[in-house]
A and B are shown apart, each in its own frame.
Chain A
Amino acid sequence: MKVKVTFLGDLATIAKTKNTEVELSEGSTLKDLFAHLISRYGSQLKEFLDFSSKNRAFVMINSRVAITDDVKLGNEDNIVISPPMEGG
C-alpha cells in the first residue's frame, strides 16, 4: 500500500522535502512508517518520530491526531508530521 506524507517546519528542512509517498506492506503501523522515514531521511528525524521522546512530533492521519504509534495505516492515508509546537 501507499501513503502520502507531508512534513512541516523543520522536519521538511531535515527531509529536504515537504511531500513524499511511501510504499509499505499491508498491515503496517505508524511506527513502521517512522522507521522507513528515518532510514530514508536520516537519524535527525529519530527524536521527533519517537512517541516517548519529549520532542515527539505532532502527527495526523487523515486529519485525525495520532495518539499512539501502533495505529494501523491504510492505503492512500494522508500523514501530516509537524515538529512539536507551542504558542497561541
Chain B
Amino acid sequence: MIFVPHAITGKLLRINLTDKTAKEETIPMELYKRFVGGRGLAAWYLWKETPPGVDPFSPENKMVWGTGPLTGLPIQTAYTNWVGVTKSPLTYGYCRNRCVSYFGVMMKKAGYDMIIWEGKAEKPTYVIIDDGHVSFGDATKLWGCTTDLTQIVMQEITGPGFEYAVIGPAAEKLVRYATVQSGTRSFGRGGHGAVMASKNLKAVAIRGTGELTMANPEKVRELSREQIKQLAASHGTKRMQQLGTTNIHGMVNKLGDCPYKNFQSSYNPKHEKIDEERIKYTVRHAGCGHCIISCWKYVAVKEGPYAGAWCEGPEYETQWAFGDMIDNDDFAAIIKANQLCDQYGIDTISTGNVVAFTMELYEKGILKKEDLDGLDLKWGNMPAVFELLKKIAYREGIGDILAEGAARAAKKIGKGAEKYAMVVKNMEMPGYEPRATVAHGFQYLTNTIGPVHSIGYGTQEVFQRPWAVDPRTFDGKGELTAFNQNRLAYMETVIWCTFAFRSEWHDPKLLAQIFAAATGWEEFSTVDTFMVVGERVWNLERAFNVREGLTRADEHFPDRIMEPIPDGPAKGCHWTRELENKLLDEYYKARGWDLATGWPTRAKLEQLGLKDVADELEKLGKLPK
C-alpha cells in the first residue's frame, strides 16, 4: 500500500539550473516531525546542502522555497503563506523571507512542499512548473525588465492560471538588498533577489491543479468556526481591515518608538499629517485567501505631482522608511517610492534606511552635491529620492556604492560615515527604536537573519499583547526575546499569519488542534510540542550562522543607540554597552548557549535532537569546549 500523507505532499522538486534538470524527491517523514515544514524544513535543507563559507553569489549557494503543511488548505490565516531561505549577500548569514502570494498555494497543488534551486544557468532563464512538468525558457529579452513587466510578459508566455516569482533590474545588478517579487508581494529582506539573479534565474511560473487532503476535515471545519469567531471578535482585525499594518503608526510615534531622520530622534512631529492623509488613497481593501482580516490595501494617487502612482501597501515599514525616516510627510510620495522599489525589486526597509543614511551624510557635509551626481539630498526632497532609487537599482554613480548597503557604503565613503550607518550585522535596522522598546530592539542583535522586525517581534511591549510588559525596562528582556523568537519560528513552520498569531487574536491551543486535525499528527496538538520545534529551528539557524563565522562580537548596536534620545516621548532613553552585554548574557543563558562565544552547546543541540548539527560544528571547531 502506498502511504498518502494528509495536508503535505511529502515531496520536493530539485531544479538544477546548470544542467537544466528537475527531479522529484521524497522528504522523509522523520524530517517533518523534526521541523514540521515551511521555514523549519527549508532551513534544514539549506544547512545540509550548502558548503560552509559558500559565496552567496556562487552556483553552490542554494535557494530553498517552502510551503507549510497548512499552505493551500482552506484554513484561516494559513492558506497563502510560503517562505524562502538562502545565504544572504547582505549579512553573509542565514536569510529567510516569507511571502503571502499565491505562488505557495500553486507549489503545493503542483505536488511539492519545497523547491530547491541549485547551480547557475548559462544565460538568463525562466522556468515554468506546470503540475509535474518543468520546462526552461530563454529570458534574455526579459533581462533588464522591471518586475511588473516581467510578470505581465510571463503571463503572455504561460497563459492563465499561473503564479509568478520574478526579479527586477536591481537584482540583476546584484544590489545586496534586492527582492524577489511575487504578484504585489515580495521576499523583502537580505537580498534573496540578488541570489536568484546570480543564478541567471529571471522568473518562475507555477501552476498546480492537484487536490490536498486533510486527515479530519470535519474536525477542522468545526474548529475553524471557533477560530473565525475569535478573529472576528478581535478589534485588531477591525483595525487591520480599516488601515492595514499602518494602523500602528500614530501609537508608535506616541510611544517614541518611530525612528526619525536616520534614528536622530524617535518621534516624528509631523506624523499626524501622514496618518490623516493615508486613508484617502485607498481604492480597494483586499487580503490573502481564506483570511477575514483583509489587511492589504491597494492605493492610488489620482492628482498632484505623483498622479498615476499606485501600489499594494504601503505597509507600516514602508510608510516609515519613506516617511518618518527621511522626513517626508507627503503620503503620495511614499506610494510612489513603494511602487518604484517594487518595480526595481529592492527592499523598501533597507532602501529607505540607506537613503536616510545618505541624507544625513549630506546634512553633515560628509557627502557633497558633487559626490551625489548633483542630487540635492536634503531631508524630504522626494524628487531627488526617486532619482537616487533609480541610481541604486541600476548601480549608477553614487548608487553603485549605496547598492552595497549602508555598512559597506560607509566603509567606502570613509570620513566618519560609519557613525551614521544604522545597521546590525551589515543589515539596515527597521522602523522601531531599540532605545524605546527594549526587547523588540534586542531582537535586532540576536535574530538569525539580522535586524528584522517580524521574526522576534516584541508584541508584549509594542502592542501590550498577549500580555503587557513595560517597553522601557531591561530586566528579563533577554529571556523574553528568546521566547518570542521561538514562538514565531514555530509559527513559520506551519505557516500561520504573523499578525493574528503573535498577539493571540486566536488561541494558540486552538491553532495546534486545527493543525493536528488537518495533518493527523496528534503529537502536534499542543503548543508545548510546537515550542520545542521553534527552539529547534532557531538553534539550527544559529548553527548555520556560527558555521559562517558568527560570534558574540557581531551582536552589538551602532553607537547612536548608546546616546540618549534627544526629544519626544522617549526622551533620554538609551542603551549602554554594559546593558547590551548584560542582556546578551541573559539571552545566551536562557538559550543554553556558551556565554563567551554565543555558540550553541552540544548539550543544547542534543537536547533538541540536533546531534548531527553538533557533530558538524565540532568538526569545524565551532562547538564550545
A85→B140 CA distance, assembly (Å): 46
What distance in Å separates the Cβ of A7 from its nearest Cβ neighbour in chain B?
Answer: 11
A60→B254 CA distance, assembly (Å): 9
B472 touches A64 (CB 8 A): yes
A88 touches B248 (CB 8 A): yes
Query: With a CB–CB cut-off of 8 A, which chain A residues contact B16?
Result: none
Query: With a CB–CB cut-off of 8 A, which chain B residues contact A63?
Result: 254-256, 569-570
A85 touches B239 (CB 8 A): yes
Query: With a CB–CB cut-off of 8 A, which chain A residues contact B234?
Result: 54-55, 84
- Chain B CB within 10 Å — which of A8, A84, A86 has the most? A86
Query: With a CB–CB cut-off of 8 A, which chain A residues contact B463?
Result: 58, 84-86
A67 touches B503 (CB 8 A): no
A54→B468 CA distance, assembly (Å): 12
CB contact list, B573-602 vs A, under 8 A: none
CB within 8 A of A87: which of B244, B254, B461, B465? Answer: B244
Q: A86-B499, A88-B317 are in contact. Are A65 and B470 (CB under 8 A)?
A: yes
A58→B505 CA distance, assembly (Å): 15
What distance in Å separates the Cβ of B470 from its nearest Cβ neighbour in chain A?
Answer: 6
A84 touches B465 (CB 8 A): yes
CB nearest neighbor in B for A6: B254
What distance in Å separates the Cβ of B403 from its nearest Cβ neighbour in chain A?
Answer: 26
CB within 8 A of B240: which of A9, A80, A87? Answer: A87
Q: Does B238 contact A (CB under 8 A)?
A: yes
Q: A9-B247, A88-B248 are in contact. Are A65 and B255 (CB under 8 A)?
A: yes
Q: A31-53, CB under 8 A of B: which get 1 and which 0?
A: 00000000000000000100100
Query: With a CB–CB cut-off of 8 A, which chain B residues contact A28?
Result: none
A51→B465 CA distance, assembly (Å): 11
Q: A63-B570, A67-B469 are in contact. Are A86 and B248 (CB under 8 A)?
A: yes
Q: Does A10 contact B (CB under 8 A)?
A: yes
CB within 8 A of B468: which of A8, A10, A65, A88? Answer: A65
What distance in Å separates the Cβ of B195 from its nearest Cβ neighbour in chain A?
Answer: 25
B244 touches A54 (CB 8 A): no
B256 touches A84 (CB 8 A): no
Q: A54-B234, A55-B234 are in contact. Are A87 and B255 (CB under 8 A)?
A: no
What is the size, in residues, of chain B's interface with A at 8 Å between Cβ atoms?
45
Query: With a CB–CB cut-off of 8 A, which chain A residues contact B244?
Result: 87
Q: Does A82 contact B (CB under 8 A)?
A: yes
A82→B248 CA distance, assembly (Å): 10
B503 touches A86 (CB 8 A): yes
B235 touches A55 (CB 8 A): yes
Q: Does A74 contact B (CB under 8 A)?
A: no
A68→B464 CA distance, assembly (Å): 11
CB contact list, B456-515 vs A, under 8 A: 457, 459, 461-465, 468-472, 499-500, 502-503, 505
A9→B453 CA distance, assembly (Å): 24
B470 touches A64 (CB 8 A): yes
Query: With a CB–CB cut-off of 8 A, which chain A residues contact B238?
Result: 10
A83 touches B239 (CB 8 A): yes
CB contact list, B223-274 vs A, under 8 A: 233-236, 238-240, 243-248, 250-251, 254-256
Q: Does B158 contact A (CB under 8 A)?
A: no
Query: With a CB–CB cut-off of 8 A, which chain B residues contact A68?
Result: 468
A87→B472 CA distance, assembly (Å): 20
Q: A55-B235, A65-B464, A67-B469 are in contact. Are A87 and B246 (CB under 8 A)?
A: yes
Q: Does B50 contact A (CB under 8 A)?
A: no
Q: Does A2 contact B (CB under 8 A)?
A: no
CB within 8 A of B239: which of A9, A64, A88? Answer: A9
A87 touches B468 (CB 8 A): no
Q: Does A56 contact B (CB under 8 A)?
A: yes
Q: Does B316 contact A (CB under 8 A)?
A: yes
Query: With a CB–CB cut-off of 8 A, which chain A residues contact B240?
Result: 86-87
B236 touches A85 (CB 8 A): yes
Query: With a CB–CB cut-off of 8 A, which chain A residues contact B250?
Result: 8-9, 82
Closest 6 CB pairs of A and B: A87-B245, A63-B569, A87-B248, A86-B236, A55-B235, A82-B251
Residues of B in contact with A (beta carbons under 8 Å apart): 233-236, 238-240, 243-248, 250-251, 254-256, 295, 315-317, 431-432, 453-454, 457, 459, 461-465, 468-472, 499-500, 502-503, 505, 569-570
- What are 9 A-B residue pairs whose CB atoms fall within 8 Å in the complex? A9-B239, A55-B234, A56-B464, A63-B256, A65-B461, A65-B471, A86-B505, A88-B248, A88-B454
Residues of A in contact with B (beta carbons under 8 Å apart): 8-10, 48, 51, 54-56, 58, 60, 63-65, 67-68, 80, 82-88
